[in-house]
Structures are given as structure tokens and as C-alpha cells.
Amino acid sequence: MSNPHILAVPFPTQGHVIPMMELSQCLVNHGFTVTFVNTDYNHKLVVNALAADESQLSDRIRLVSLPDGLEPWEARHEVGKYCEATQRVMPGKLEELIEKINQGEGDKVTCVIADESAGWALEVAEKLNIRRVAFFPGPAAILALQFSIPKLIHQGIINDDGTVSRSQMIQLAPDMPTMKTTEFLWACMGDLTEQKIVFQLMVRNNKAAKLAEWIVCNSAYELEPAAFTMAPEILPIGPLQASSRLGNPACYFWPQDSTCLQWLDQQPPCSVIYVAFGSTTVYDQTQFQELALALELSQRSFLWVVRPDITDKTSDPYPEGYQDRVASCGMMVGWAPQQKVLAHPSIACFLSHCGWNSTIEGLSNGVPFLCWPYFCDQFLNESYICDVWKVGLKLKKNENGIIPQGEIKSKVEQLLGDENFKARASKLKEMGMTSVKEGGQSHRNFKNIIEWMKT
Ligand SMILES: O=c1ccn([C@@H]2O[C@H](COP(=O)(O)OP(=O)(O)O[C@H]3O[C@H](CO)[C@@H](O)[C@H](O)[C@H]3O)[C@@H](O)[C@H]2O)c(=O)[nH]1
């Protein structure tokens, strides 16, 4: 038998590639070899960022790439178009890649670990008779929601193409956070056509997940017990964090600006608002400027990640004279070493879009949140943060759909003026993080799976 050789296939967006790489690094530490499959487009970004970064990938992880079905110049942020193209082109290319590897001199692929959202990769693995693990990088509750689609159709809550019959609050099972039907993952992704494409992808992924011998997720029993009771087939192996294995995260699409860590060193403990909205969130110019002014108004230090594509206005999106005015208290960077930033003692709170990676990174460091969800699973994550774990506050939009500067300023004061938020966040940190340590339930699940992968 050949040495264990994993083919890791993330869903091709940043928020999925990072946790799949983290899982890969954990596998390498247990003696596995990993071939990591990016799209050609993402591969270029990753290689470019790696060259500018001090973090090194293990030589037991080989980066390879496949076309994603779009031309190099086409935008990847139109969810529907992107999902259609990847599903159409990538399965065939993946099959060719695996056959090429297996006909070569090196170790044959012994197991495919695919993102649950890229169910087509599980279909290819089954066709080629290779063992399969589905990895979900988000919360178990969202996967449980996806698995409940047939029941939701049966109950008339949605119709066959995922359209929500009416806006209402529902609870999938006792003790689960309540969800607004119009905020179901697929129902808040782009226009109606895109929503239907995303819904159909989820239906396909439900079937594909049944082909996997294991379904694992980047969460912990301690964080969402009700979701794991509702869908016991999902096993938590998280929260996966580079700091747990004393390593650096990798596979970023943009080079990290590490100068902010030295800047943080100069700030007093628990004094800085960290502001970051993940890899895809985009704000219009009005909202962007409102946030900028709110940070200035807060009269606190802040570190703000302003990705080059975060607003529709690319050149100088700030209010006039802003950068000079905030130079003594604020720092803006294009992409931060976020996991290290959140672990820094000078961070007081995290103004976040509530992507799941950001959520567990904040939790793992006991940082309280100000929540500004945008789409996808982020509304549910906000509900976990504010209603279930009670480690954050929600920001409210005004009648024009804008979160005004006064709202941001007053919620910052409320959050930082109440020590209970920090106290609960510190408690949750202890609870959640023990799960990935020796003896924890996530650790035990991970061990069982790697034992199985080695047989
Ligand atoms: O300056 C930055 C900003 C972000 N990050 C990292 O980028 C990742 C961002 O992931 P996440 O917070 O989950 O946000 P998205 O990039 O928006 O992720 C997508 O994928 C997630 C996992 O499925 C979902 O939970 C989100 O809603 C979805 O938008 C995290 O690991 C961050 O540490 C950095 O390293 N530097």
C-alpha cells in the first residue's frame, strides 16, 4: 500500500481555502502528504502572496491548480456565474489530475478531502473509487440547515427552487438559534437567479455529502451543541487555528502587511478596535465613509483592513483629509495577519462581518464583537455571537439601509463599557479551545479520522 496521500479540494474562495489549508497542515504534522488543489486564478494569488510572506509551506504540501471555467480577466465575485463555471469545468479537470497522479511514479491518492460546498469533487472521488471526507469550514448549524432542505420544502417554508414563501423566524430544533427565512444562506446571495443557482448547488451538495465516509466541520460541540444533536452525522474537528499547532496560517490571496503588529505593540492593552470584513464584503461609498467617520468619532485607536476592492471607488475612498486627521490613532492596511492581530493584547474588540473564520478566530482569543453581517452564514453567526454566546452587539441599519456613524460609536462605547462581554468572551475562549487539545472532543474526532485514513 502507498503512503497516505491526501488530495485537498477547497471551494475556491478565500474563506474556504484558508481553513482547508489549516486542515492540510495538521495532516502533514501527522505524517500525511497533501496535494492542495486551487483554481489557476487563486493559485497565482497564493503563490504571489507566499513569495512576499515569511510563512513557509511544508514541503509535504504540493500546490497544484485547475482552470475554474472563467477567463482570467473575468470577475469572480458574481456568485451564480462562478458556481456554474466551476461546477461545469472543474470535475472533469479534477478527474484528469487524479488519473495523472495515480499513473505517475509518486504515491497514489488515497483519500480526497473536499469542501462540502464543492460536492462535485466528492462525486469524482466516488467515481474513481477513492475514499472521501467532506469538510465544512462554516458552522454546523448552516450545514444542518442545508440538510433540512427537503423538510423545509415539505413544510412549505420554501418551494422547490428555494424561494422563501414568507419572511418569518424559524427554529430548526430546540435550542438552535432562531433564523429569519429571508436570511437563509441561499436567500441572501445576490439576485433571484443567483439565489436559485446557489440553492441548486446546495441540493447537489446534499447528495454528494452522502458519498462521504465522514463529514467534518470546523466547529466544536461546546460552541453549538444543539446543531450537532440535530445533525449527529457532522463531526466537529475545530476550531482549527494555526496557533494550536504553533505554526503560521497560509494560502492567502493578498500579501499580509505585518507592520501593523509593530504598531499594535505600541498601543496600550485592550485599547484598539480591529475592523475587518473578510475577503469578499464590499461597501458602497456612502457606507464606507460613514464607517470611516465613526472610527474617527470614537476617539479610540483602530486598525482597519481596507482591501483594495472593499468599495466601488478604488482611488482614495476616504473622506477629504481623513488619513491625515486619523494618522495618530488609526492604521489602515490592505490585508492584515488577522490571526496574529486578534491574539494581540492591545485588541479591545472586533468590528466584523461575522464570517465563520473571523468568528472562531475572535472567539479563540476571547475578543468581544460588534457584528455587521453581510450575507451567507453571517446572520446566523451574528445570532450565535449576540443571542447565544452573548459576546457581542448587533449594529442596526437606519431607514436608508445604512449603519450610521452614531450607531457605531454608541455600540463601541456600550460594548467596551460593559466588562461582562469580555468576561464571557474569555470564558468561551477556554471552553472552545480545549476541544482541539489532547483529550478534547474535536481532537478525538480528528484522531479517529486520521487513523481511518491511514488504514
Ligand atoms: O486582513 C485580513 C482579513 C481576513 N483575513 C483572514 O481571512 C479569513 C476570512 O474568512 P471569513 O471571516 O470566514 O470571511 P470570508 O472571507 O467572507 O469567508 C467566506 O467563507 C466563510 C467560511 O465558509 C463564511 O463563513 C463567510 O460568510 C464567507 O463570506 C479569516 O481566516 C481571516 O483571518 C486575514 O488574514 N487578513
pLDDT one-digit tens code per residue, 180-213? 999 999 999 989 999 999 999 999 999 999 999 9
Distance 219 CA to ligand 1 centre (A): 15
Comparing 93-102, 129-138, 281-290, the range with the smallest average pLDDT is 281-290
236 touches ligand 1 (CB under 6 Å) = no
* Mean of all residue pLDDT scores within the chain: 95
How confident is the model at residue 19, as a pLDDT?
98
Give the nearest ligand 1 atom to 356 CA: 25
> How far apart are the C-alpha atoms of 353 and 376, rounded to whole Å?
10
349 touches ligand 1 (CB under 6 Å) = no
Distance 15 CA to ligand 1 centre (A): 4
Helix (H) or strand (E) holding 305: strand 301-305
> How far apart are the C-alpha atoms of 55 and 365, rounded to whole Å?
21
338 touches ligand 1 (CB under 6 Å) = yes
How confident is the model at residue 55, as a pLDDT?
67
Under 8 Å between Cβ of 449 and 214: yes
Distance 238 CA to ligand 1 centre (A): 16
Tell me the backbone φ, ψ of residue 111, rounded to 5 degrees. -155, 140
Across the range 231-260, mean pLDDT stands at 94
Helix (H) or strand (E) holding 424: helix 419-434
How confident is the model at residue 122, as a pLDDT?
98
Give the nearest ligand 1 atom to 381 CA: 25
Does a cis peptide bond (omega within 30 degrees of 0) precede residue 174? Answer: no
Comparing 71-85, 208-222, 294-308, the range with the smallest average pLDDT is 71-85
Nine-digit cell at 129?
473509487
378 touches ligand 1 (CB under 6 Å) = yes
279 touches ligand 1 (CB under 6 Å) = yes
pLDDT band at 393 (very low <50, low <70, confident <90, very high): very high
Residue 29: how many other CB atoms lie within 10 Å: 13
Residue nearest to atom 29 of ligand 1 (CA): 355
How confident is the model at residue 45, as a pLDDT?
95
Nine-digit cell at 414?
456600550
336 touches ligand 1 (CB under 6 Å) = yes
> How far apart are the C-alpha atoms of 344 and 260, rounded to whole Å?
11
Residue nearest to atom 11 of ligand 1 (CA): 355
- CA end-to-end distance (rounded Å), the chain: 9
Q: Where are the alpha helices (DSSP H) in 30-104?
A: 40-51, 79-103
Residue nearest to atom 19 of ligand 1 (CA): 15
ipTM attached to this prediction: 0.99
How confident is the model at residue 316, as a pLDDT?
83
Distance 278 CA to ligand 1 centre (A): 4
Across the range 129-146, mean pLDDT stands at 98
Under 8 Å between Cβ of 357 and 137: yes
The Cα-based distances of 183 to 48, 87, 162, 377 in angstroms read 36, 24, 12, 8
User: Does the pLDDT value for residue 313 go beyond 80?
Assistant: no
User: Does the pLDDT value for residue 1 go beyond 70?
Assistant: no
How confident is the model at residue 235, as a pLDDT?
98
Under 8 Å between Cβ of 216 and 235: yes
Determine the residue of 13, 14, 186, 216 to mutate for testing ligand 1's pocket, defined as the one with the most ligand atoms within 8 A of the Cβ atom: 14
Distance 145 CA to ligand 1 centre (A): 21
The whole-model pTM stands at 0.97
